C-alpha cells in the first residue's frame, strides 16, 4: 500500500481519482526526465551531496563530461565529484592524479597508457599486443606507487592490420587465445604489484563516430569476455562490466551479474540505453535493482557514471548518482 494514501480512505478512491492521478504521473514522465517519486520527494537531486547510503561506491568517468556537454576541465569535474559526494574520477592517467588528490578524490580506473583510441589496438592481435603489454606493465607500476587499484585493457579490433583491412580479420577463437596469453603475462605483474587489470566489453552494433558503439571490436560478446577471464584464472584479472554495452549486445543484465559474481566482475560502467544518455525515464534501463543485484553478489568495486550528457551535465549526474545510491 502506498504510504501517501490514508488507511481509512484507500478503499474508497474512485475510478475518476485514480485516472486523474495516473494522468498526472504520465504527464510528468512525458514532460521530460522525471525520476521516481521517492527521489523527487527528497533533495538528493536539487542541492547538497547526493550520496548518502554509500553502499555503491560511485565514481565519474572523465571523458564523457570533459569532451561532451559543457566540456568541463579536470578541476570542474573534480569539483562536481566533491559536490555530488562520489569517491573519485576514472579513466585518467598519472598526469591527472595530483589534481584529483588535491580534491581528496581517488582514481577508480586508470588508462593503460596506449595512445587514443586505446580500444583499437589490443591483446587479441600479435601486431599490437607487445606494445599493449609493455605500456600496461608500466602503468601497473605507476598505479601501485600511487595507490590506484585498477587498470583498463581491451581485446582490440578484429582486423589483422588496422591500416590494411584487406588482410582480413582475426577469428574469435584465435583472438581469445591471444588475449588469454597476454592477460596471463599481465596477471603476473598485476599480482606482484597489487593492481587489478579489467578487460572491457564494448558493443559493435551501434554505428557512428561518437563513441556510442565500436563496430569491429572483437570482445563484443560479454560471455566471450567472461570466458577469457575464467581461462586466465587470476584474481587480478577481472571483467569491466559496462551495463550500457551489455544491454545492447546481450541483455539479461541482472541475470549475468548474478551468474558472473565477484569472481569475474571487477568494475562497472553505466549509461542509458539507447543512446548512451542520462539514466532517466527516456531510456529502457532502471538502475536501482541493478545496483541491488551488485550488492546481492557482494560487489565492493566501483561503479563509474559514463553517460554522454544531452542536457545540463550536473543535473544528469545528480539524477544518476541518486538512482545508483541504493
SS (H, E, C) 276-322: CECCCCCCCCCHHHHHHHHHHCCCCCEEEECCCCCCCHHHHHHHHHH
C-alpha 169: how far from chain center? 28
pLDDT at 209: 73
pLDDT at 126 over 50: yes
- Range 241-245 average pLDDT: 99
Per DSSP, 89 falls in state: E
Average pLDDT, the chain: 90
pLDDT at 9 over 60: no
Of 252, 246, 284, 249, nearest in space to 268 by CA: 246
Residue tagged active-site, from 120, 200, 278, 319: 200
- Range 48-77 average pLDDT: 97
Q: How far apart are CA 109 and CA 192, in angstroms?
A: 18
Name the least confident of 16-20, 215-219, 297-301.
Answer: 16-20
CB atoms near residue 27 (< 10 Å): 10
pLDDT at 96: 98
pLDDT at 46: 56
Q: How far apart are CA 174 and CA 234, in angstroms?
A: 21
Per DSSP, 113 falls in state: S
pTM for the complete prediction? Answer: 0.87
- Range 110-123 average pLDDT: 98
pLDDT at 35: 53
Q: Which pLDDT band, with edges at 50, 70 and 90, does 297 fall under?
A: very high
Q: How far apart are CA 193 and CA 140, in angstroms?
A: 7
% pLDDT > 70, the chain:
86
Question: What domains can be seen in the chain, in order of their start residue?
Answer: 66-324 (3.20.20.150)
Give the largest CA-CA distance in the chain: 75
Of 254, 225, 272, nearest in space to 64 by CA: 272
Per DSSP, 242 falls in state: E
pLDDT digits (tens, 9 = 90+) for 212-230: 999 999 999 999 999 999 9
Name the least confident of 13-17, 105-109, 130-134, 239-243.
Answer: 13-17
Q: How far apart are CA 251 and CA 253, in angstroms?
A: 5
| Rg from Cα positions in the chain | 21
C-beta of residue 136 within 8 angstroms of C-beta of residue 143: no
Active-site residue, 200 included: yes
pLDDT at 19: 40
154 phi, psi to nearest 5 deg: -140, 155
% pLDDT > 90, the chain:
84
pLDDT digits (tens, 9 = 90+) for 159-199: 999 999 999 999 999 999 999 999 999 999 999 999 999 99
pLDDT at 34 over 50: no
Q: How far apart are CA 287 and CA 300, in angstroms?
A: 17
pLDDT at 48: 82
Q: How far apart are CA 267 and CA 259, in angstroms?
A: 15
pLDDT at 27: 42
Q: How far apart are CA 75 and CA 78, in angstroms?
A: 5
Q: How far apart are CA 305 and CA 324, in angstroms?
A: 9
Who wins on pLDDT, 134 or 210? 134
pLDDT at 1 over 50: no
Amino acid at each position: 500500500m502506498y504510504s501517501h494514501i490514508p488507511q481509512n480512505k484507500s478503499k474508497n478512491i474512485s475510478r475518476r481519482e485514480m485516472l486523474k492521478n495516473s494522468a498526472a504521473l504520465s504527464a510528468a514522465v512525458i514532460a521530460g526526465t522525471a525520476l521516481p517519486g521517492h527521489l523527487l520527494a527528497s533533495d538528493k537531486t536539487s542541492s547538497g551531496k547526493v550520496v548518502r547510503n554509500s553502499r555503491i561506491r560511485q565514481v565519474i568517468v572523465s571523458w564523457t563530461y570533459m569532451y561532451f556537454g559543457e566540456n568541463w576541465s579536470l578541476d570542474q569535474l573534480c569539483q562536481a565529484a566533491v559536490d555530488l559526494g562520489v569517491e573519485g574520477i576514472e579513466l585518467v592517467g598519472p598526469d591527472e592524479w595530483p589534481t584529483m588528490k588535491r580534491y581528496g578524490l581517488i582514481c577508480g580506473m586508470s588508462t593503460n597508457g596506449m595512445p587514443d583510441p586505446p580500444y583499437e589496438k589490443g591483446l587479441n592481435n600479435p601486431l599490437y599486443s607487445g606494445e599493449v603489454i609493455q605500456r600496461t606493465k608500466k602503468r601497473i607500476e605507476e598505479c601501485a606507487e600511487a595507490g590506484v587499484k585498477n587498470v583498463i585493457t581491451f581485446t582490440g579490433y578484429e582486423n589483422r592490420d588496422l591500416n590494411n583491412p584487406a588482410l582480413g580479420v582475426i577469428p574469435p577463437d584465435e583472438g581469445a587465445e591471444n588475449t588469454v596469453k597476454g592477460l596471463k603475462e599481465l596477471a603476473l605483474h598485476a599480482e606482484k604489484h597489487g593492481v587489478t587489470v579489467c578487460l572491457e566489453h564494448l558493443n559493435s552494433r551501434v554505428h557512428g563516430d561518437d563513441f556510442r558503439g565500436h563496430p569491429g571490436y572483437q570482445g563484443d560478446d560479454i560471455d566471450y569476455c567472461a570466458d577469457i577471464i575464467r581461462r586466465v584464472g587470476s584474481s587480478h584479472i577481472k571483467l569491466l562490466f559496462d551495463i550500457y554495452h551489455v544491454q545492447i549486445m546481450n541483455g539479461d543484465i541482472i541475470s549475468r551479474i548474478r551468474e558472473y559474481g565477484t569472481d569475474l566482475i571487477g568494475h562497472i560502467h553505466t549509461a542509458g540505453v539507447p543512446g548512451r544518455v542520462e539514466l532517466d525515464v527516456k531510456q529502457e534501463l532502471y538502475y536501482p535493482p541493478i545496483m541491488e543485484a551488485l550488492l546481492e553478489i557482494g560487489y565492493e568495486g566501483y561503479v563509474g557514471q559514463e553517460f554522454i550528457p544531452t542536457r545540463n551535465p550536473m543535473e544528469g549526474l545528480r539524477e544518476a548518482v541518486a538512482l545508483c545510491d541504493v
